Structure formats: C-alpha cells, structure tokens
Amino acid sequence: MKIKKFEVGPLLVNCYIVYDEIKKDGFVIDPGDEPDIILDFIKEEGLNIKYIICTHGHFDHIGAVKEIKEETGANIILHKADTDIYRNSAQVALQFFGIEIETQPDPDKFIDDEETLMIFNKELKFIHTPGHSPGSISIYLDGYLFTGDTLFAGSVGRTDIIGGNIGQLLNSLNKIATLPPDTIVFPGHGPKTKLEIEKKLNPFYHEIF
C-alpha cells in the first residue's frame, strides 16, 4: 500500500491518494482543489479509483470532487451529518472567502460510525469524529489514520464556526486515542505525526488526560 499526498488549493489542504501498487486499486481522500494534478497522478499510475472519501463537507476539502468523480466514476463517501455543509459549500466559499467552486455531486454513500469497507484485502474503518463539523470522520487503515480537520500535528481543527463544538471535538480526540499508539496520523493540513506523540504533546489532549 502506498500513500501520495498533494497540498491543494489556497488553504493548502492535504489530499491523499491511497493505492495498492500491484492491483492498482485506490481511493482519494479530500480532493479539495487542483483536480488536474490529482488526475495526472491517477493516470500516470494507471489507478482504478473506487472511492472519493470526504472527511467533512467544508469547501476546501471537496472542491475537486466533481472533476474526480467525472473522470474516475468513483463513489463519493460522506457522513450524513455533514450533508448540509457539503451542499452549501459553494455558496460559503464565495460569500466568505471569495473563492469560486462548483456545486458538487450528491454523495453515493453515507457512512455510519464504525462502518467498514474492504479494500486491498484490508479493512477500511470509518470513525465518526465530530467537533470541527457535525459529520467529520477519521479513516483508519492498517496502522494509518486520516483525521481531516479533527487532529493536526500539535493542534486541532477550528470549532468557532457553524457546526463546530469543542466538547464534541475533545470526545472525538478521546475516541481515537484508543487506537494503537504507533498509529501514523495523516491530517487535513500540515505534516504527518504519530498518535502517541499527540497524546503526549498536543495541548488539546491535555484537556482530556
């Protein structure tokens, strides 16, 4: 299994392509912008993209979903609690940030907490981690955790926005703290980290432990 990261868009969102280098199956997490560079990599590697997974519905994480969907036919996955945020993302991007994105296609599948899918003969697990948004999810696969804007290296996502809730976020941090300590964390912004490092040094974990 390989993981390719792109920093896309004006807010430098981490978009990840996770794929099996032998079978060539893969999925994309948070294609927020710059679809051309994402699609160029998919074509160069000859990948069969099965899923487009949105960790949440904010515009900076979903801005290129439409283009990736059109080119790959992949199923769009979202937690249902972020449906309104997802559908209103184009309006919010223009009104508050002056950024134009297209209205994105409806999700193909709404996932629930602890729901799993099989890919690469491995279990892909969805963990509902609200706080930054009502439907934020983290994705666990084979020792790797993709946290969107729930957990960053040394920080967390904002909760002072519509749908944000610091109490829920702290509960979500507590929830993912039960994963193995050597879990590699790939956040929605910034560098990767390890769960054991965040539990020791992240000031928001100090609110819990």
pLDDT digits (tens, 9 = 90+) for 89-141: 989 888 878 888 889 999 999 999 999 999 999 999 999 999 999 999 999 99
Q: Name the pLDDT band for 209 (thresholds 50, 70, 90).
A: low
* pLDDT confidence of residue 114: 95
Mean pLDDT across the chain: 96
Q: What distances in angstroms separate CA 143 from CA 38, 67, 90, 126, 189, one per listed residue? A: 24, 30, 34, 13, 19
* pLDDT confidence of residue 142: 96
Would you say residue 75 has pLDDT above 70?
A: yes
Q: Dihedrals φ, ψ of 207, to 5°?
A: -75, -15
| pLDDT one-digit tens code per residue, 15-41 | 999 999 999 999 999 999 999 999 999
Contacts of 88 (CB under 8 A, 6+ apart): none
20: which DSSP letter? -
Would you say residue 208 has pLDDT above 90?
A: no
Would you say residue 171 has pLDDT above 70?
A: yes
* pLDDT confidence of residue 201: 96
Q: Which CATH number fits domain 2-207: 1.10.3720.10, 3.60.15.10, 1.10.760.10, 3.30.429.10?
A: 3.60.15.10
CA dihedral for 123, 128, 133, 135, sign (positive or negative):
positive
pTM of this structure: 0.97
* pLDDT confidence of residue 180: 97
Instruction: Give the containing element (helix H, strand E) for 30.
Output: none
